[in-house]
Structure 1
Amino acid sequence: MKRLPNLDPLRFFLASIVLLFHLPQLSRNQGLPYFDGLPIYHRGVEAVYVFFALSGFLIIRLIYRAKIRGAFSIKDFYIRRILRIFPLYYLVLGFGLLFYNVILPFLNIPFEINYTWKEALFYNLFFLPNVFAKVYEPGGIIEILWSIGIEEQFYLLIAPLLFFVNVKWVLKVLGLLLITYFIIFWTDAFPVLRKFNFVFFYLFSGGVIAILEEEKKLEFVKRTTIFPAIVCITTLLYFITDWFIFEPLWLRGLFTCFLFGFFIHSLAFNNRGVILNSRLLDYLGSISYGIYMFHAIVLNAVVFLFLKLEIFRNLTDISTIILMHLLIFAGTLLIAHLSYTYFELYFLKLKNRFRK
């Protein structure tokens, strides 16, 4: 399937925003100089929500197009998802557990462990890292896996559901799921949904917009440049200003649910020829999964160096902040590149055996 334009660069920018979100948090916790004076430093969670909308958009579109061809296989779908997600997920999970339980005690760095190995393996092997992160606060390297858990849970639900739904009913079923789940999420009937951030409505909204596009129901949107311009400008302002950080939370959730979905649609299908045609950005997008997964490891390593090495102690606060940004971004990109080239690509190439 031909790759849609602009979405790979988007992945890179989103992963970078998550990095910016976590950088000042750890610096502040460790007593190092930090800067978080711009709104974009506080939009890490929203960046993940855009990732969710993007995943729902792409995955449901893929399933829908396969169903139309009569070529959708649940087994092949899950194998492709496993090959993409699991190798890096379990690599980072294993390192994170080793880091907090073995490496930090070896370095005489205190860190409270309030879970057993059995609990850690249970939650993270059975697709509940979001619950594990919230209940035990096991450390940033492991806690970032919460979002991978949400996607895993979504895949477990959406593939069998759409397999049995007639292709003519896919849009209606997804629309009903989106509305029903959104209402349930924001009521007090099941507070566990909000507590552990089961924000599946972002994935459903991306899927609904993808099917609307596939069924040519968004042609009226494409006839004007005003709508995509408003959507893209509003999304940009959401991340660089505080103008749209309003209450109540359910209304902001409804607003972003559709804003992020239409933002992805605008970039991919309604861009009026504005395409980020850059090999570098496309490549950075292709390694964005590694950027997201490894940035917490690099962040901890750089913070450790600044705490322990005398050469960094004599720097001014501004120099420390700038140098930490540069080292963490450079280190994360390097490790993500090496991981993609020498580890992930092996599994990604295996995915081709399970395409029809």
Structure 2
Amino acid sequence: MKRLPNLDPLRFFLASLVLLFHLPQLSANQGLPFFDGLPVFHRGLEAVYMFFVLSGFLIIRIIYRAKIRDSFSIKDFYIRRILRIFPLYYLVLGFGLLFYNVILPWLNIPFEINYTWKQALFYNVFFLPNVFAKLYDPGGIIEILWSIGIEEQFYLLIAPLLFFINAKWILRVLSILLLGYFILYWSDVFELLRQYTFVFFYLFTGGVIAILEERKKLEFLKCSAIFPAVICVATLLYYITDIFLFEPLWLRSLITCFLFGFFIHSLAFNNRGVQANSKVLNHLGSISYGIYMYHAIVLNAVVFLFLKLEILQNLNEKLTVILMLLLTFAGTIFIAHLSYTYFELYFLKLKNKFR
């Protein structure tokens, strides 16, 4: 299947927003200089939400197109997801558990552990890292796995569901699920869903928009450049200003569902010929999973250096903030590149056998 334009660079920018979100938090926690005075430094969670919309958009589009051809295989679908997600997920999970339970004590750095190894393995092996993160505060390297858990849970749900539904009913079923789940999520009766961030409605939204596009129901949006321009400007404002930070939260969430969904649609299908064809950006998008998964590890290493090396301690605050940002970005990208080239790519090539 031909890759849709502009989405690889989008992945990189979203992963970068997550890094920008976490850097000042850890720096402040360790008493180091930090800067978070711009709204863009507070949009890490929203970047993950857009990742969810993008995942729903792409995954459900793939399943729907396979259903149309009567060639959808649940087994192949899960094998492909396993080969993409599991190797890096379990690598980072294993390192995170060793880091907080073994490495930090060895370095005489205090860190409270309030879970057992059995609990850690149970929640994280059985696709509940979001619950584990909320219950035990296991540390940033492990806590970022919560979003991978949400996607894993969604895949477990969506593949069997769509397998047994006739293709002509998929749009209607997904729309009902989107509306029903959104209401349940924001109701007081199911507060547990909010407590553990089971935000499946973002993935459902991406899927609904993808199928609307497949069925040529969004052609009216392509008649003018005004709509994609407005959507792109609104999305940019969402990330660089605070104008969307209004109450109630459910309304803000509803707006972001469709803002993010139509933004992705505009980049992929309504871009008016504007495409990011940079090989560098496309590669950074390809390694964005690694950027997201490794950034907390690199961030901890950079903070450790600034805490322990006297030459770095003598820098002024502005230079410290800039240098920490550059080192974290450069180190994360470097490690993600190595991981993609020499580790992940082996498993990604195996995916071709299950297309």
Classify the TM-score, shorter chain.
Answer: over 0.9
Residue 6 of structure 1 aligns with which residue? 6
Alignment of 1:1-356 (within 5 A): 1-355=1-355
Shift of 1:226: 1.1
Identity %: 81
Could you tell me which amino acid in structure 1 is paired with residue 266 of structure 2? Answer: S
Amino acid at match of 2:134: K
Q: Which amino acid aligns with 1:78?
A: Y
Amino acid at match of 1:133: A
How far apart in 1 are the matches of 2:70 and 2:276? 33
Question: Deviation at 1:224?
Answer: 1.4
Q: Distance in 2 between matches of 1:192 and 1:100?
A: 28
Code of the aligned partner of 2:270? N
Per-residue deviation at 1:292? 0.1
1:291, distance to aligned residue in structure 2 (A): 0.1
RMSD between superposed Cα atoms in Å? 0.3
Name the SS for the 1:49 alignment partner.
helix
Aligned residue for 1:315, secondary structure, equals: coil
Displacement of 1:227:
1.0
Q: Structure 2 counterpart of 1:37, which letter?
A: G
Q: Distance in 2 between matches of 1:76 and 1:164?
A: 16
Shift in Å, 1:200:
0.4
| Residue type of the alignment partner of 1:344 | E
- Aligned equivalents of 2:202, 2:192: Cα separation in 1: 17
CA distance in 2, matches of 1:216, 1:170: 15
Offset at residue 132 of structure 1 (A): 0.2
Task: Tell me how far apart the structure 1 counterparts of residues 32 and 302 of structure 2 sit (CA, whole Å).
Answer: 11
Instruction: Render the CA deviation track for 1:92-134: whole Å, top value 9, x for unaligned.
Output: 0000000000000000000000000000000000000000000
Displacement after TM superposition at 1:184 (Å): 0.5
Q: Distance in 2 between matches of 1:104 and 1:314?
A: 25
Separation (CA, whole Å) in 1 of partners of 2:135 and 2:190: 17
C-alpha distance in 2 between matches for 1:353 and 1:244: 44
Q: CA shift at 1:225, angstroms?
A: 1.1
Equivalent-residue separation in structure 1 for 2:9 and 2:268 (angstroms)? 11
How far has the Cα of 1:167 moved from its partner? 0.3
The whole-number CA distance in structure 2 between the counterparts of 1:234 and 1:324 is: 31
Q: 2-side partners of 1:171 and 1:264: how far apart? A: 18
Given residue 55 of structure 1, which amino acid in structure 2 is its aligned partner?
S
Distance in structure 2 (CA, Å) of the matches to 1:313 and 1:266: 46
Q: Residue 70 of structure 1 aligns to which amino acid in structure 2? A: D
Structure 1 residue 64 displacement after superposition: 0.2
Distance 2:188 2:313 in 1: 50
Q: What is the rounded CA distance, in whole Å, between the counterparts of 2:145 and 2:333 in structure 1?
A: 19
Letter matched to residue 152 of structure 2 = E
Q: Distance in 1 between matches of 2:142 and 2:131?
A: 12
- Separation of aligned partners in 2, 1:23 and 1:107: 22
**Which residue identity is paired with 2:203?**
L
Amino acid at match of 1:119: Q
**1:275 deviation in Å?**
0.5
Work out the CA distance in 2 between the residues paired with 1:43 and 1:178: 24
TM-score normalised by structure 1 residue count: 0.99
Number of residue pairs matched by the alignment: 355
Partner-residue secondary structure (3-state), 1:153: helix
Partners of 2:304 and 2:219 lie apart in 1 by: 53
Q: Which runs of 4+ in 1 moved over 4 A?
A: none
Rounded to whole Å, the distance in 1 between the matches of 2:142 and 2:153 is: 17
C-alpha distance in structure 2 between counterparts of 1:175 and 1:325, whole Å: 42
TM-superposition CA deviations, 1:144-196 (whole Å, max 9, x none)? 00000000000000000000000000000000000000000000111110000
CA offset at residue 308 of structure 1?
Answer: 0.3
Query: How far apart, in 2, do the equivalents of 1:105 and 1:274 lie?
Result: 52
What 5-or-longer segments of structure 2 have no aligned partner? none
Q: Secondary structure at the match of 2:32?
A: coil
Q: Residues of 1 paired with 2:288 and 2:231: CA distance?
A: 24
